[in-house]
Structure 1
Amino acid sequence: MAEPRRSRWGVGLAVAVLIVAGWAASRGGHGTGSAAPHEPGKSTAPSATSTPSERPTADGQDPARYAPQVIKYAKQADIDPRLLMAILYNESYKPHDPAWERAWQRIKPDAAFGVANMHKAAFDETKQGRDFADRDWRQLPDDPSLAVEAAAWYLHDLARQLPAEHGRYTEDELLALGYNTGPGNMLAFARGAKPGVAAQSYLHQLHTNWTSAAQALRNAG
């Protein structure tokens, strides 16, 4: 006899939790564990996200659907819309279902929320003085527009910290690394520090997603 639907769903969720738990254990919390360490006295401000595994975007959650919001908020925050779009592709490695995200957050309280995978500390810091200052981090899973807006302004804030000389990386590459590992590491990379394996993986995924990001923006235009 076939298993009841509810039972199959429960097994599927348990498997998903185990998979993500294994990923989290191997990748670390904020993505900073594998990057260059913070130098003494440097900022330990939070990164927005964690480092993804190299899995393709899951069916039904292609970030291209958020291209209009990306265009809108990237313009407001004065950042490259392709960078923001590519970051959403980078962050599409896990399910962005509100119920799933909240279930996982009960297991891992410091998990990231929303389609841009933003941690609470990064969201609370970014929203200060902004149009969404009265919004709560817990609303991110239900409001993709808010998630995109917050990510855009986090990138804006990172860009204001960049030095004039970027070393071997472009501005967009450094901002992506900053989004993943935090501003302290971003500045270290700008000065010549070598990213760790996880940060290199994030940058590789960004390059892989450039074409998809550009196509999504063209289609939205």
Structure 2
Amino acid sequence: MAESRGRWRWLLLAGAALAVWAMARGGHGGAPDAAPRPSTASSAAPDAAPSATPGGGATTPRSDGVYDPADCAAAVRKYAAAAGVQPRLLMAILYNESYKPHDPGLERAWQRYKPDAAFGVANMHRAAFDEVKRGRDFAGRKWEELPDDRDLAVEAAAWYLHDLNRRLPAQRPAGHTRDELLALGYNAGAGNMLAFARGIPPGAQAQSYLDRLHENWAQADRAVAR
């Protein structure tokens, strides 16, 4: 889920994924849902109207494939409040995870090329989604729905951060703020988060994720303040 593969991987492999996507769509100009969908996927059409305004409403993928994490601001505020996490943190994570295209057809094409790929705007892996949904309002939803339902992706990410937060010790060495540790946990997993909380320094990949988080604070603040 939050294991960022880095922008370079997408630059190297995007061509292959795009080729698979084009074949699945039956050529450019074909209907966005030409590729077969899992039977568990949402019935909402992927070429639905562009994202709702920040005032509310479902955040659906845009028909032109353009993705801006700020489009999810209403969902971020709603689900961050429900899960008891900072909306700025959740939004900054969406910016961190926007390094790859978040078009539903392209995500599914990439998943066929790389079966362990993550889904949705929050880049969540199947096992993480199946774990975090237990006992929650979205327990009946499926991981395969994430590319088409950005609100569901944001909701799952918010509650995953909530669960990580419950695992953090109250007393820990100075070094990282709670939100920094939660972001590191989102990227590197709970076990590594707890190691960082004990004072072990992050490795290069985790530190890069943290650096990007800091770079995204300002635009995350602006987005959730809309």
TM bucket by the smaller chain?
Answer: 0.7 to 0.9
Q: Deviations over 1:147-195 (max 9, x none)?
A: 0000000000000000012421000000000000000000000001111
**Structure 1 position 164 matched with structure 2 position 152:** no
TM-score, with length taken from structure 1:
0.73
Q: Deviations over 1:116-175 (max 9, x none)?
A: 000111000000000000000000000000000000000000000000124210000000
2:139 maps to which residue? 133
1:72 maps to which residue? 78
1:209 maps to which residue? 216
CA distance in 1, matches of 2:95, 2:72: 11
CA contact (8 A) 1:79 1:152 kept: yes
Q: Give the C-alpha shift of residue 60 in structure 1.
A: 2.7
1:189 maps to which residue? 196
**Structure 1 position 124 matched with structure 2 position 122:** no
Secondary structure of the 1:141 match is coil
Structure 1 ranges of 4+ moved more than 2 A = 17-20
CA contact (8 A) 2:88 2:221 kept: yes
CA distance in 2, matches of 1:112, 1:158: 19
CA distance in 2, matches of 1:17, 1:138: 23
Q: Which structure has more RCO (C-alpha within 8 Å, separation ≥ 6)?
A: 1
Q: Deviations over 1:33-57 (max 9, x none)?
A: xxxxxxxxxxxxxxxxxxxxxxxxx
Secondary structure of the 1:111 match is coil
CA contact (8 A) 2:120 2:150 kept: yes
CA distance in 2, matches of 1:98, 1:60: 11
Q: Give the C-alpha shift of residue 15 in structure 1.
A: 5.9
CA contact (8 A) 1:162 1:187 kept: yes
Q: Deviations over 1:75-105 (max 9, x none)?
A: 0000000000000000000000011000000
CA distance in 1, matches of 2:125, 2:154: 13
Task: Report the residue type matching 1:198 in the other structure.
Answer: Q
Q: Give the C-alpha shift of residue 216 in structure 1.
A: 0.5
CA distance in 1, matches of 2:124, 2:91: 15
Alignment of 1:90-129 (within 5 A): 90-129=96-135
Number of equivalent positions = 169
Unaligned runs of 5+ in 1: 1-12, 21-58
CA distance in 2, matches of 1:189, 1:103: 35
2:154 maps to which residue? 148
Q: Deviations over 1:47-78 (max 9, x none)?
A: xxxxxxxxxxxx93110000000000000000
CA contact (8 A) 2:101 2:107 kept: yes
CA distance in 1, matches of 2:225, 2:142: 32
CA distance in 2, matches of 1:63, 1:91: 9
1:179 maps to which residue? 186
2:7 maps to which residue? none
CA distance in 1, matches of 2:141, 2:109: 21
Structure 1 or 2: more helix by fraction: 1
**Structure 1 position 199 matched with structure 2 position 206:** yes
Unaligned runs of 5+ in 2: 1-10, 19-64
CA contact (8 A) 2:17 2:110 kept: no
Secondary structure of the 2:124 match is coil
Task: Report the residue type matching 2:208 in the other structure.
Answer: S
